[in-house]
A and B are shown apart, each in its own frame.
Chain A
Amino acid sequence: MTVTHSAPEIATSQSGPPSPRAGRRTSVWSGLWPLAVGIALAAVLHFVLPRLIGQYYSRIVMDIGIAMIMAVSLNIVNGMTGQFSIGHAGFMTLGGYAAALLTYYGSLSIWGTSLRHGGFLGVGEWMFAVSCLVGGLVAAGAGYVVGLPSLRLRGDYLAIVTLGFGEILRVVLQQTGKVIDDAEALKAAKWSQFFPPPVGGAVGFDGVPKYTDLFWVYTFVTITVVVAYRLKHSSLGRAMISIREDEIASQAMGVNIARNKVLAFVLAAFFAGAAGGLFAHEAGVILSPKDAGFQRSFDYVIMTVLGGRGSITGVMLAAVILTALPEMLRDFEQYRLIMYALLLIIMMLVRPQGLFGIHEVWQLWPGRGPRTAKKKT
């Protein structure tokens, strides 16, 4: 990395004073407290919320959390780095399948049943958390492979490659074999039955243990948001933002464009894969190949466009609105996507930078005007 800490924030197109946060980065605690607070909040949510608003609404809150992870991670590629990926659901589904494969066949071979094992923070839940991380790693690997050709491709070609990735994944997943559904059959199974992995083909991966709860979802949300926020305010993040603002100029400043683009891709894919793991283990969800298709990807693209390119809180807010709204408007399901489409077109005509642009929500508060990012004219 050749960009130094004193490099001016290119997004502002002017060299302001160094960020006031710079001096506070000395103690370990200053970096970790948001994580601790977030995880504590997640635990509170987990124990309090279902009692307050009931199972149905808690599930929507869970969906909102997963959408937040997806939108915030996609925003690293689309918002911060200025690329245009429209295959994010592909990474999510890949990670979901990888995680579900691990927990399903893991619990089948260890405990002889695919039902959930252990209580809150029990062995089963830890296996689930680890397999979500493994799902993230698998997706990150795919992100690396998809990100590589993107070095040669500018915006719109990249969009096609990512869209193609999602569609190819969908086709490939449809060719997989039937799920092996009891422990005896699993013991008797030959190695050849695992190539391609038995994850249910076109009908979907049924029988995955249901571990996802508010605690784990919001723990992952916390990790994603903290990583995204720290990234945005690091030299690495500023290098990514400089790529978004002007690729040629940032190259001239010594930013390694190729490395940064691929890194953004890998990072975003990792979180999408983890979110896929959470999604796969959610009650009432049967992961199926069509989740990798473009329709789901578009949902997340719309969140990042609506929230603002590069605004973490903006896309989180958009994730909340766009996940909760369709639940409210169940009767108008037919019109949901028409509304999304009009929203996209009108946003581009009226406010192309998104609701919050590159600002965070609190920067729009009167009197707390943007300090780190001035509005571009």
Chain B
Amino acid sequence: MADLVQTLLTALAIGSLYALIALGYTMVYGILKFINFAHSDIVVLGAWISYALAIKLLPMLGLNPHDAETAPPLWVGAAILLAAMLLCGLLGFAIERFAYKPLRRAPRLNVLITAIGVSLLLQNVGQLNYVFGASPQKMPALLPNIDLLRLSLPGGDGYREVVIGLVDVMIFSTSAVLMLVLEYLVYRTKLGTAMRAVSFSTDNASLMGIPVDRVVSFTFVLGSMLAAAAGFLYVMKYPGVNQPAHSIWVLLGLKAFVAAVIGGIGNVRGAVLGGFVIAFVEQFGAFYISSNYRDVYVFALLIIILLVRPTGLLGSPVREKV
């Protein structure tokens, strides 16, 4: 029971991260119909920008960034989060403008290859010595390390404690707020209607007077901001910041993409659902079967879903027309 609850809580926190990243994949796919391979690198940059800002900002406040015990006031974390989101939003805008926009009418494979190129570029530029460097760093603690709640639950031989940490709660609640904002934006505002119209049919949307280019740019900015938030939250949970080209980031991005596909790519609510499904499969598989194969479960699930229901859980079937 105790193990079950603890795994459940971890899955919720991780799942909300996957969901945040998956949203970026799914929005871009919905509108431009290609996988933005560079999306996971925006997550990485979000994480590294947060690290760089924290290292610079904390000494200014008279705090030692390498001291894990004292945490800065809450607004510091919020400011870093916002700054990382803004910078990554700008970056997303620039990538779309210079790499993808000239290829708007090109075959999808070309755009995909370009996206891989952008991804490699971001990884390796980030890895340069005078950018972020090629060695892992430790993220300073921005949140006090307090346990909000300790539950005693039956488990094993007697009772075991289940700890709900502040970090997990913050991850979950921040993601939840961001997702609700996005939900409002996509389904309740004029801009969101425009986004959905472009996703439905680019040509018809532009005939109806929707500025397609601006909507696409906005989508990229939005997706990149969510990715940056995910990157920030990820290094809050796991303070060891790996170098930009480390395969752990690629796996994170891949799993988020799998989440988007499982939920039904192009579907905003599906991405959130997929993120949680993936996290549950991964965490429970890791705990109850073997933690060595946690990545294998996710990809196995992907293949099963693609074989059984290729459009994903919430996707609607599309008929291909000549």
Binding site for B on A (CB under 8 A): 82, 84, 86, 149, 152-153, 155-157, 159-161, 163-165, 167-168, 170-172, 174-175, 248-249, 290, 293-295, 298, 301, 305, 334-335, 337-338, 340-345, 347-349, 352
Contact = CB atoms under 8 A, between A and B. Distances in A.
Given A86-B116, A295-B245, A301-B113, 20 more contacts: A82-B109, A84-B109, A149-B306, A152-B306, A155-B112, A156-B108, A157-B306, A160-B257, A163-B254, A165-B299, A167-B247, A167-B295, A175-B293, A337-B120, A338-B121, A341-B117, A341-B120, A342-B121, A344-B114, A352-B107
Given A160-B254, A334-B128, A294 B307 contact: no
Contacts of A301: 113, 116
Contacts of B302: 160-161, 164
A345 B247 contact: no
Contacts of A165: 299
B261 interface: yes
B108 A352 contact: no
Contact of B296 (A153, A168, A349): A168
A10 to B, nearest CB: 15
Interface of B: 34-35, 99, 102-103, 106-114, 116-121, 123-125, 127-129, 245, 247, 250-251, 254, 257-258, 261, 292-293, 295-296, 299, 302-303, 306-307, 310, 320, 322
A227 to B, nearest CB: 24
Given A171-B292, A352-B110, A345 B306 contact: no
A152 B307 contact: yes
Given A164-B299, A167-B254, A155 B108 contact: yes
A156 B293 contact: no
Main secondary structure of the interface of B (DSSP, over half): helix
Contacts of B102: 349
A243 to B, nearest CB: 13
B121 A171 contact: no
B24 to A, nearest CB: 15
A305 B292 contact: no
Contacts of A349: 102-103, 114
Given A160-B35, A334-B128, A348-B113, A298 B120 contact: yes
Nearest to B29: A156
Nearest to B251: A167
Contact of A171 (B261, B295, B306): B295
Given A168-B296, A171-B296, A175-B292, A157 B261 contact: yes
Given A160-B257, A294-B250, A341 B113 contact: no
B114 A345 contact: yes
Nearest to B108: A155
A202 to B, nearest CB: 11
Nearest to B117: A344
A294 B113 contact: no
A337 B257 CA distance: 24
A165 B296 CA distance: 9
B269 to A, nearest CB: 20
A337 B35 contact: no
A176 B102 CA distance: 47
A348 B116 CA distance: 11
A34 B150 CA distance: 75
Q: Which of B113, B124, B296 has the most CB of A within 10 A?
A: B113
Contacts of A298: 116, 120
B306 to A, nearest CB: 6
Given A152-B306, A349-B102, A159 B121 contact: no
Contacts of B124: 334-335, 337-338, 341
Contact of A168 (B35, B127, B247, B295): B295
